[in-house]
């Protein structure tokens, strides 16, 4: 073994003050029942909160009642018996292409 040296084992680094890697790895096996109860609690809370959420695909409800978009769309709905919201994308191949037009 000419010139080959064996490296000493490094001192184990601690993750938290007072907990070594081995102690930290033993937490799930020692506290498995508590971990399951905490998981069950948070799962139930998230299911309860998720069941109370209401979704809406009527974007007019997202605006305040005094917003010009809300007022104008309600007027068009009343006078023309309906409206449709559409988004149009125009590619000018320039940054802020339409914003600079006058």
Residue 1 CA to residue 21 CA, distance in Å, equals 33
Measured in whole angstroms, how far is the alpha carbon of residue 34 from the centre of its chain? 27
Given this model, what pLDDT does residue 14 score?
54
pLDDT (tens digit per residue) in 73-96: 888 888 988 877 777 788 888 887
Given this model, what pLDDT does residue 36 score?
94
**Which pTM value belongs to this model?**
0.40
Residue 12 CA to residue 14 CA, distance in Å, equals 7
Residue 20 in 3-state DSSP?
strand
Residues in the chain where the model's pLDDT stays below 70 = 1-3, 9, 11-18, 100-102
Domain ranges across the chain: 14-51, 55-90
Given this model, what pLDDT does residue 81 score?
84
Q: Return the structure tokens found at 19.
A: 């907990």
């Amino acid at each position: 073994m000419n010139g080959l040296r064996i490296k000493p084992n490094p001192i184990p680094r601690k993750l938290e003050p007072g907990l070594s890697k081995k102690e930290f790895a033993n937490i799930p096996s020692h506290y498995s029942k508590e971990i399951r109860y905490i998981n069950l609690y948070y799962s139930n809370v998230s299911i309860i909160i998720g069941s109370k959420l209401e979704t809406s695909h009527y974007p007019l409800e997202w605006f305040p009642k005094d917003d010009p978009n809300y007022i104008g769309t309600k007027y068009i709905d009343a006078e023309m018996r309906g409206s449709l919201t559409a988004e149009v994308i125009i590619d000018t191949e320039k940054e802020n292409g339409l914003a600079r037009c006058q």
